[in-house]
Amino acid sequence: MGEQICATKSIALLSSHREEGEETKQLQIHDALSLQEEQLKFTETFQLSLSVMKRILLVFILAAAVMYGILHGNLWRNNFYWISFYGQTSSVRASTSYVTSGITITYDELPPTAVERRNALDTCLLKPAFESLLGVDKIYPFLCANDFIRVAQFQGSNKFELPYGIKRAEQFFRLALSRLQNCGLSSEEDSIACRRCVVVGNGGVLRNKTLGEKIDSYDVIIRMNNGPVIGYEEDVGRRTTFRLSYPESIFSDPIHYDPNTTVVLIVFKPRDLKWLWEILGGQKISAKGFWKKPALNMIYKSSQIRILDPSITRKTAYEWLHFPTRFPKKEKPKHPTTGLIAITLAFHICHEVHLAGFKYDFTDRNSSLHYYGNETMSQMMQNEYHNITAEQKFLKKLIDKNFVVNLT
């Protein structure tokens, strides 16, 4: 009987151990499943986080690429692009050379001083339409004695002879520039971020228009040759910032002297540079080699005189008026008028350009050519050195496209 009781207890104890073992096994399985489930959740969370991080990284990469494109696109646009005025887009100047007017131009490094001068022109945050559509890349318009050779090499002016480059006239430029004390715009013009400019032509259309007060309200007023202001203030104003001239057209009468005017010499031939060197050095002036008698005395100080970069004249002739580099032997070579060169200058130093005095009446040969004097349109029609028809068509395009505002 006792043995049966012991056996029964042993069986019960064994059964209890088996149940405990099963519970332990079940707990272990449950713990393993829980751990596996947690690992799966962690893996899913990690993969989700990794996916989000990849997307964020991709967004940053795309944003960086866009910013790179914008910044470098602006850099190319400000320095090397050319978008044709006539609506055709050419390739960006990404190579070290390009071809213009049948001549290959190779880029050299622009001197740091020239870079600083050019950057000083581009201070306005609002970019005008003509800057992109006319390919105006803010060439600094005046030559400086210390780096004009390197600037000419950079812009290709060493490939062209006067009036479109410095080729075979380097020594004459060096002599003339050595007489000048300054090559900057002026402290007043440099301080203006967005320059409003008016280019005042000499056309007879200015007579009795009483635009004098309005013209004087602009930041920069550009005039040309010997167009007077004394006696015509009501129609053309009193102030002059820049006056573009040749040796044959510069004022020599002290009555026209203005201490606030900067005279910009357009160099047409080496003799013009020799004239400037001689007249500023107090030497005797020879009138030989000029189409009419040049000024024999200088009323302006050397600090008031600048020499226009020939690339400005070249751009006007070849890129805007599409003049050929060579004319037939029986045809006299055509060159841009001072007025159109003055407009080109304005596009390089101004952010808003208005015009006055550029409209002519070709239907009446007896109509006034200038707002001063007695010359008539018949004199202009006989001029063989300018293509007035081509210039008038170009001006009409500028006005129609709202690149400029015509006051007359």
- Parse the chain into domains and list their residue ranges: 1-79, 111-406
DSSP secondary structure string, 325-380?
Answer: SS--TTSPPP---HHHHHHHHHHHH-SEEEEES----TT-TTSBSBSSSS-BHHHH
Q: Are 318 and 100 in contact (CB under 8 A)?
A: yes
Pick the CATH number of 111-406 from 3.20.20.70, 3.40.50.300, 3.30.300.30, 3.90.1480.20: 3.90.1480.20
- Which CA distances in Å does 222 have to 144, 145, 255, 388? 21, 24, 19, 20
Q: At what angle do helices 270-280 and 170-178 cross, to 10 degrees?
A: 20
Q: Are 211 and 235 in contact (CB under 8 A)?
A: yes
Per-residue pLDDT of the chain (408 residues; tens, 9 = 90+): 555 544 454 544 445 545 555 555 555 555 555 555 565 565 566 666 667 677 777 777 777 766 655 544 443 333 333 333 444 333 333 344 445 545 554 545 778 888 888 888 877 888 787 876 666 566 899 999 999 999 999 999 999 999 999 999 999 999 999 999 999 987 666 678 889 999 999 999 999 999 999 999 999 999 999 999 999 999 999 999 999 999 999 999 999 999 999 999 999 999 999 999 999 999 999 888 998 999 999 999 999 999 999 999 999 999 999 999 888 888 888 999 999 999 999 999 999 999 999 988 778 888 888 999 998 887 776 677 889 889 999 999 999 999 999 999
Backbone φ and ψ for 226, nearest 5 degrees, come out as: -105, 35
Q: At what angle do helices 170-178 and 148-155 cross, to 10 degrees?
A: 140
